[in-house]
Amino acid sequence: TNDFEAINTNPNQPEVVTPNLLLSTVISSTVSRNALTGWNNGNIVSQLTAKINFTGFDRYDWGSESGLWNHYYGNLSEIEQILQISRNETSKNTSYEGIALVLRSWIYSNLTDNWGDVPFSEAIKGQTDGNFTPVYDSQEEIYTGVLADLVTAETLLEQGQPILGGDLLYNGDLLKWRKLTNSLRLRYLMRVSKRKDVSAEIRQIVTEGMIFTSNADNAVLKYAANSQVDSWPISIGRIGGFDEHRLSKTSETLLKDFEDNRLFSWFQPTDNKEDDPNLFAGMLNGLSEDNASTFNGGANNVSRLNQSFFYDAPDAVEAPLMQYAEVQFILAEAAQKGFILEDAKTFYENGVIASFEYWNTSQDFETYLSQEGVAYDGGLETIMTQKWLASFLVGLESWYDFRRTGFPSFIVPGQDNVNNNQVPVRFLYPDNEQTLNTENYQNAVSKMGSDDINVKGWWEK
Amino acid sequence: QNGSATIKGVILDSGSPLPGATIYLKSTDYGTTSDFDGKFQISGVKPGSYELLITFMGYSDKVISVNLVQNQVLDLGRIILEASSEALEEVMITALGIKRETKALTYAAQELKGEEMTSARETNITNSLSGRSAGVQVVGGSSGVGSTSLITIRGEGSLIPGQNSPLFVVDGIPINNNTISNRSEGNLETDYGNGAQDINPDDVESMTILKGPNATALYGSRGSNGVILITTKTGKGSRGIGVTYNQNVTFESALRIPKYQNEYGQGAGGEFEFFDGFGGGTNDNIDESWGPRLDGRLVVQHDSPTSSGLRAGDFAVRPRDENGNFTDEATATPWISRPNNIKDFFKTGYTITTNVAVTGGNEDGNLRISYTDLQNEGILPNTDYNRRTYAFNGSYKLKEWLKVSSSVNYINSNSKNRPNNSYGTENIMYLWVWFGRQIDMNSLKDYWQPGLEGLQQFNYNYNWHDNPYFTMFENTNAFDKDRIIGNVKVDINLTDDLTLMLRSGMDYGNDLRVSKRAFSTQRFANGQYREDMIYSKEQNTDFLLSYSKKINEDFQLGTSFGGNHRKEENRYRRISANSLSVPGIFNFQNAAEPLSKTQFDDTKTVNSLYAFINVSYKNFLFLDITGRNDWSSTLPKNNNSYFYPSVGLSAIVSDMVELPSVISFAKVRAGWAIVGNDTNAYNLRNTFSFDEPFGSEQRVSASSILKNENLKPEESQSYEFGADIRLFSGSVGLDVTYYKSSVKNQILELPVSITSGFQSRIINAGEIENKGIEIVLNATPLKLKNSFKWNTAVNFSSNRGTVKKLIDGLDTYQVSENYIQVLAKVGGRVGDVYGTGFVEVNDPNSEFYGQVIHNESGFSLRDPNLKKLGNVNPDFMLGFQNTFSYKGFELGVLFDWRQGGVVNSRTVLIGGTSGMMDFTVVGREDGIISEGVIQNADGSYRPNDVRLSGRDYYWWKYNRGNEEVGMFDASFLKLREVKLSYQIPSKLIHKTPFEAITLSVVGRNLALWTENKHFDPETLSFNGGTVVPGVEDMATPSSKSYGFNLNVKF
């Protein structure tokens, strides 16, 4: 039995690794997943696109999205490992620690924005504390924690310890990580701005200026497209999966009204050879299966998304975490609300132009920005409408904004929705939580009232 | 022969003839068996003095001394055999291969003879056990011949799915019964079968089923789920050369195919017209059957001819103008029902098994060599399973005190294609839940677009699906597996009372699986080439020192001391090229992207020492005591040694006290045992796993399983009580067993909330109790003078598993999750199934009590709370075997009844939303009102009166998340086996070289009675490499088989 320990040592897998190997996993999987969530859920609920098949989500037949839940919490365990390694005396690295905190904050904000109260303070402590049934924290507590962690991250990143690999977002450029950190702070401060006075903190961030200043700062994952695992996932799926998504009537109307060239970047003309070859036609959101598939005479009379960009190429799409345009729109809103003193119009127009540039779409900005509906009129809806367009594929950001501001107001439930004409505001908790974390699940549900897709979270009340 | 003598006679059982008795002259090659009239004749015997020995199972041996002179014909006349007070003389092979008198056994065990499994045969020997032994549950797999069969004995002691298999032991050597899945790389699972299916029924002499820990205590940990001892045939008892030839031919066809509707075709909203299969026509992107009524109207379809001489679906080669529009015209063809389109896809499969065995022997030794060739063509096109077995078994007495023996089985099994399982395009059954009911299956047989052979498939839909023939013929999953199971053994008689056995054996397996995917496959646009290499080796070396002594008139003592060293080594490699450069070339050099790689090797060692003592008193009281200690490499240093004892007692009451004369034999037995168990390799410390790189960045993932450095061995304790009673001179036999076992400190991979950072953790937890009864009834209700005989056997068992305890603070253990959740709740029954359904009126005083509540729009309300939907385990199982024999004829009929249990059908759920299932015809034209109520503002209810469109109704109700809607009673009754055999009278072949010829007509799984008409509830699904019971997930239909068997002895 003396050789038992050697026999029972796993020869296939290491017990110790360096943080770069984990960081590449976290970034590639979560940021890519964010784009996919934008494609499958964000764009649909915000009606940037519409479903022509399998219209359940578009009709608000919503479930738990447990795959997304598992994805987030699954990646939090890699983040926890990075934190443990980078905080250990022998392998200390404040930059990896800071990056891990930034990514962790981002994931928790998504979790609470999607489900409401979720495990946070006691989460991911199975190994360290033996806690396998973490309590659900309130959304308010989570945001307090997220914002504090981002501040901590900024101070850690400021120390400038070098990053040795694994950084698929910025390739070790710590300045850009600091800009992302503060840009995310802006995002989350604005998120909670109905419940908390965030103006001082926003002012301070703007003053310090360590935020995105151009599209070069964008937090976006570029697909390497060497193999199926590092390619834009839609491009390796069945074409039917790509094809379920179509130009929505909402987008068609707005993009045509504004003569917005993103129409041509994102969508393609209908396939019907009888039609004008340049005809772009959108469909209504929230139709039943039969009504969707026969809408406007069928699938070839409704515009697909731009196939050469979104399906045929494995690396044309970039997976976004956050873009410069969004930061400018947040600042525009902050200025419009008087949180900061700068000129809202400038931020707004910067945001609009940044989005066109991001999508590599040529547009005569002078004309575009001066037309009615686009020209800055001091109203929040104008800002939110352009922010909405700029949120294409950026996870579920436009849904969160809609829940917070009610804009764009033209988002109304589709005719065949099954949710009593309300836009849902959360996903159900996964079945597994009922089974595996029963007591905390039940406490969370009783605090919220019920496990229902129409129960509002703290920041949107 | 000149001057030779002849002996003849008739063997009788107090009046009726006894066919099949063995008659031979001791120490010679002369011998025969009695024919169906009980007659025998041995000719050509050299004159001299002999002892004639007559043996027949269940009867006392008879020895007659004869003295033969030249040319004598000695007629011994009527020889009457005495029914031995039954079974008393029966011996059974028990743990460690030790032969014991059945009457001395202190536990329940059942033995099956090889011949019961060879005429009406199953390719997978595991299936042969179904219905034949009380307490044994076999669930046949869903991929046709060659699939995994899940076998459990006395319920699920372990909560870990797939870890409840009994240990299979072949000639003393443990073999693996693993099912190794091949999920990942975007491929669906393929079922390559369970390890025990490599055993060739033709080479099996007997199988002993040791059910409880008492019987298996000597096998240690691995025996905790029962042991199946397989003894292969030897040349023992043969005199001179014997040759047998067996030919078995069976045909297989699908037993039950889902019932599809035949009134509406593909499309949506009642509309369809094909253009390019991508959505260019009217709903030609829709892969569901909500289209126009199949009334013969003319519609352009995928197979409609075009003016360019092609098919409308040949989109890649049809002529186009500069704008890309087709320039040819497709001619509409009749839109008609094709009720048999899916049925016709299945074909009649066949299995041809040829066995030739040669035996030989003399007083000092014997040998048997056997060759078996099995060829199967499946019921799905281009699927097969082939197996060749070379078996050798020999022993030789080198000295009076020294015997050497060896048995070796070399088995090669292979297939050019095994079908895929689970939900996705690679599974053929998935294609049928998304299909057009109007499709002429023949139109898909020519599955390439002309001129683009190897590059572009032809299909009815290009958005989602692969052409089913393309899938079967181009996207294959082959395997080729070599397996060697062998041992060498030395038996030494040290003194008259003391023997020593030394043995070493190996189970070696090497399996290469090769998957190919052609260009234009939905999942692999540029094809795929993948190899999975699975190597396994298990070596066992053991010794056993045995001492047996008659101490005095009353006491007999047997004692043994032994030890075993076991080493298991497994290697797994998976390499895949997920896109290829050149079509049609399947190798790694043709990879168009970096290869995807996985490697996992593991090693495990267990050392054991054991001892046992048997004491018998006056041959009617028997005491067994065993003890074993294991040392396992998989457990932490301080906990890696564990001891377990067992005690058993049996008493032959009928020999101890005077019982009424109807009771010819009565025995009671009781036993207690503890069995320990270890775990798998590498369960102590967490490690990181490698992922495929992203660009040039290597990636690793944290372990999703929290390992445990403080694991303890698990411990199961069991009691068993039983009685064996035979009545009416043995014509009725009743064996009853009650058992209760409880597993403590079970090593579980306990699923935990992913919010803890892990999906599961490995712990010692819980107390699972299983209790049940087993009843085996054998009777001969009718036995006539004219040799007509009716034997009947009933195997009944009922098992209840209960979760007594988990760990502190935890009351639910998630056994499996595959749409439905199988949960073990403290106090609940093992196998309880939970899922979601609809909200019902829960006020028992309401007139609408129990009805489903709907919202104002007429949609039923979904209940996010999990509810109990039943239990996957049967309440009881009953096998009912009847054998009728008359002269040379024998008719055997076996029914297999399982009562209780539930199964979730994904086919019904998804086929319900896609308009494929028969029930979706209702309400298409006028809509449909969902049954139930709507809640009024004041809380009262009114009947639902909102009419939904048919499609909306089915879409909502059969949504795959509403598990409750897809639940069915899994109870079934199967006509498991019918066998009619005829042995040609020996007088007819007297002058031929043949010794015996038996011809049988056989059938298996000929009929099924169950609640649902869509699928066989005896089904398995796969989830992440684990076999999951209770879910029908796009299961390939099970098959019925019928054919014949010819057995010739020379």
Q: Do B761 and A126 touch (CB under 8 A)?
A: yes
Q: CB count, 10 Å around CB of A263?
A: 21
User: Which amino acid makes up residue B970?
Assistant: A
The number of C-alpha atoms within 13 Å of A243 and in the hemisphere containing its C-beta is: 22
Mean pLDDT of A276-282: 89
Residues A251-262 have a mean pLDDT of 97
Are both B71 and B178 inside the same structural domain?
Answer: no
CB spacing of B753 vs A436 below 8 angstroms: yes
> Quick check: A346 contacting B, CB < 8 Å?
no
Segment (H or E) for B528: strand B526-550
The pLDDT value recorded for residue B701 is: 96
Average pLDDT, chain B: 88
B74 and B218 both lie in a single domain: no
pLDDT tens-digit profile of A385-400? 999 999 999 999 999 9
* Distance (Å) from the alpha carbon of B934 to chain A's nearest alpha carbon: 14
A24 contacts B704? CB cut-off 8 A = no
The long-range contacts involving B454-457, CB below 8 angstroms and separated by at least 24 positions, are: B454/B518, B454/B519, B454/B583, B454/B584, B455/B519, B455/B520, B455/B583, B456/B316, B456/B519, B456/B520, B457/B518, B457/B520, B457/B521
Res B161 pLDDT > 60: no
User: Distance between CA atoms of B221 and B209, rounded to whole angstroms?
Assistant: 17
A183 pLDDT band, cuts 50/70/90, is very high
Residue B658 lies in a domain: yes
The C-alpha angle A444, A184, A178, rounded to 5 degrees, equals 135
Considering only residues B579 and B123, tell me which one the structure prediction assigns the higher pLDDT.
B579
Tell me what pLDDT residue B31 has: 79
Do B55 and B171 belong to one domain? Answer: no
**3-state secondary structure (DSSP) of residue A444:** helix
Instruction: Determine the pLDDT at residue B1025.
Output: 54
Please tell me which residue, B537 or B363, carries the higher pLDDT value.
B537
Q: Which amino acid is at B614?
A: N
Q: Which domain holds residue B358?
A: 109-253+348-426+475-831+872-901+994-1049
Spatial separation of the C-alpha atoms in residues A412 and A253, rounded to whole Å:
14
Count of other CB atoms within 10 angstroms of residue B482? 15
Of A28, A228, A438, which has the smallest distance from its Cβ to B578's Cβ? A228
B35 belongs to a structural domain: yes
Together in a domain, B26 and B163: no
pLDDT tens for A152-171 read 999 999 999 999 899 999 99
Q: What whole-number distance in Å separates Cα of residue B117 and Cα of residue B151?
A: 16
Distance of CA B65 to the CA centre of its chain: 49
Residues B158 and B65 in one domain: no
Instruction: Tell me how long chain B is.
Output: 1050
Last residue of a domain, one of B80, B100, B132: B80
pLDDT of residue B86: 46
Q: List Cβ neighbours of A64 (8 Å cut-off, separation of 6 or more).
A: A427, A428, A429, A430, A431
Do B184 and B39 belong to one domain?
no
Average pLDDT over residues A267-292: 90
Q: In this complex, do A271 and B684 lie within 8 Å of one another by their Cβ atoms?
A: no
Residue where the block lists tokens 């050392």: B607
> Which CATH number fits the domain that encloses residue B623?
2.40.170.20
pLDDT for residue B556 is more than 80: yes
Q: What is the pLDDT of residues B35-51, one digit of tens each?
A: 777 888 888 888 888 88
Q: Is residue B318 part of a domain?
A: no
User: How far, in whole angstroms, is CA B439 from its chain's centroid?
Assistant: 35
**Residue B486 domain flag:** yes
Q: Do A230 and B268 touch (CB under 8 A)?
A: no
pLDDT for the residue numbered B714 = 86
Same domain, B743 and B678: yes
Average pLDDT over residues B381-407: 93
- Name which of A28, A85, A221, A228 to mutate to probe chain B: the one with the most chain B Cβ atoms within 10 A of its Cβ: A228
**How many angstroms separate the CA atoms of B425 and B287, rounded?**
12
Chain A residue with minimum CA distance to B679: A8
Query: Does B750 map to a domain?
Result: yes
pLDDT value of position B824:
82
Q: Which residue has the higher pLDDT, B383 or A1?
A: B383
Mutate to test the interface with A, among B631, B697, B755, B863 (most CBs of A within 10 A): B755
Is residue B113 within a helix (H) or strand (E), and if so which, with residue range? strand B109-113
A54 touches chain B (CB under 8 A): no
CA B987 to chain centre: 41
Distance, in Å, from the CA atom of B925 to the CA atom of B909, rounded to the nearest integer, reads: 21
pLDDT of residue B58: 67
Q: Which residue has the tokens 């199975």?
A: A126
pLDDT class of B162 with cuts at 50, 70, 90: low
Name B409's Cβ contacts closer than 8 Å, sequence gap at least 6: B170, B199, B200, B203, B232, B389, B390, B391, B392, B483, B484, B485, B486
pLDDT surpassing 80 at residue B13: no
Q: How far is B539 from chain A (nearest CA, A)?
A: 15
Which pLDDT does position B99 carry in this prediction?
78
* Any domain includes B733: yes
- pLDDT band of residue A410 (cuts 50, 70, 90) is very high
Half-sphere exposure at residue B665, Cβ-oriented, CA atoms within 13 angstroms: 22
* pLDDT tens, position by position, B618-660: 888 999 999 999 999 999 998 899 998 999 999 999 888 888 8
pLDDT in tens, A20-44: 999 999 999 999 999 999 999 999 9
Beta-carbon contacts of A443 under 8 Å, excluding residues fewer than 6 positions away, are A135, A136
Q: Which of B612, B681, B589 is nearest to B640 (CA)?
A: B681
- What is the structure's pLDDT at B973? 95
Q: Which pLDDT belongs to residue B830? A: 83
Q: What structural domains does chain A harbor?
A: 19-222+315-448 (1.25.40.390)
> Are B395 and B542 in a shared domain?
yes
Mean pLDDT within A141-159: 97
- List the beta strands (DSSP E) in B457-525: 477-493, 498-519
Q: Which of residues 129-158 of A touch B (CB under 8 A)?
A: 131-134
User: What are the tokens at B315?
Assistant: 């989109």
* Residue A206 pLDDT: 96
Rg from Cα positions in chain B: 32
B753 and B669 in one domain?
A: yes
User: Does B604 touch chain A if contact means CB atoms closer than 8 Å?
Assistant: yes
- Can you give the length of chain A in residues? 461
**Is there a single domain that holds both residue B806 and residue B886?**
yes
How many CA atoms within 13 Å lie on the side-chain side of A395? 25
What is the Cα–Cα distance from B780 to A84, expressed in whole angstroms?
73
B356: pLDDT confidence band, cut at 50, 70 and 90? very high
pLDDT tier, B89 (very low <50, low <70, confident <90, very high otherwise):
low
Task: Measure Cα distances from A234 to A37, B64, B186, B288 in Å.
Answer: 11, 85, 14, 22
Q: How far is A64 from chain B (nearest CA, A)?
A: 9
* Distance in Å from the first CA to the final CA of chain A: 64
Q: How many domains does chain B have?
A: 2
Residue A369 DSSP label: H
In a domain, B818, yes or no: yes
Task: Indicate left, alpha or beta for B253 from its phi (over 0: left) and psi (-120 to 50: alpha).
Answer: beta
Bridge-partner residues for A56, per DSSP? none
CA angle at B208 for the pair B555 and B678, rounded to the nearest 5°: 90
Q: Do B124 and B200 belong together in one domain?
A: yes
**What is the rounded end-to-end Cα distance, in angstroms, of chain B?**
19
> pLDDT band at B1, cuts 50/70/90?
low
What phi, psi does B493 have (nearest 5°)? -90, 105
Which residue would you say has higher pLDDT here, B842 or B729? Answer: B842
- Report how far apart, in Å, the C-alpha atoms of B560 and of each of B405, B544, B622 are: 20, 7, 16
- Between chains, do B281 and A300 touch, taking CB under 8 Å as contact? yes
User: Is residue B87 scored above 50 in pLDDT?
Assistant: no
Residue type at position A108:
Y
The ipTM assigned to this model is: 0.95
B880-891 tens-digit pLDDT? 999 998 888 989
Provide the 3-class DSSP secondary structure of residue B817.
strand
**B947-948/A318-322 β-pairing:** unpaired
CATH number at residue B47: 2.60.40.10
Chain center to CA of A1:
54
Q: How confident is the model at residue B123 (pLDDT cuts 50, 70, 90)?
A: confident
Contacts of A447 by beta carbon, 8 Å cutoff, 6+ apart: A117, A136, A138
Interface probe for A, chosen from B471, B635, B640, B754 (most Cβ of A below 10 Å), is B754
> Are residue B504 and residue B584 in the same domain, yes or no?
yes
Does residue A47 register a pLDDT over 50?
yes
Residues forming a β-bridge with B528: B517
| In contact, A330 and A187? CB cutoff 8 Å | yes
Structure tokens at B837: 């359904």
Cβ under 8 Å to A: B residues 549-568: none
Distance from CA of B757 to the nearest CA of A (A): 4
Half-sphere exposure of B281 (CA within 13 A, CB side): 31
Residue B101, domain member (yes or no): no
Q: Is the pLDDT of residue B311 over 60?
A: yes
What is the mean pLDDT of the segment spanning B795-809? Answer: 86
Give the mean model confidence (pLDDT) for residues A298-313: 94
Secondary structure (3-state) at A338 = coil
Listed residue (B109, B143, B108, B112) closest to B125, CA to CA: B112
Q: What is the mean pLDDT of residues B274-292?
A: 91
Indicate the range of A398-407, B326-335, B757-766 predicted with least confidence.
B757-766
- Contact check, Cβ <8 Å, B640/A4: yes
For residue range B209-264, what is the model confidence (pLDDT) as tens digits? Answer: 888 777 887 887 788 788 888 888 888 766 678 899 999 999 999 999 999 999 99
**Would the CB atoms of B268 and A277 count as touching at under 8 Å?**
no
Helix, strand, coil in percent for chain B, rounding step 5: 10, 50, 40
Residue A416 — pLDDT band, cuts 50, 70, 90?
very high
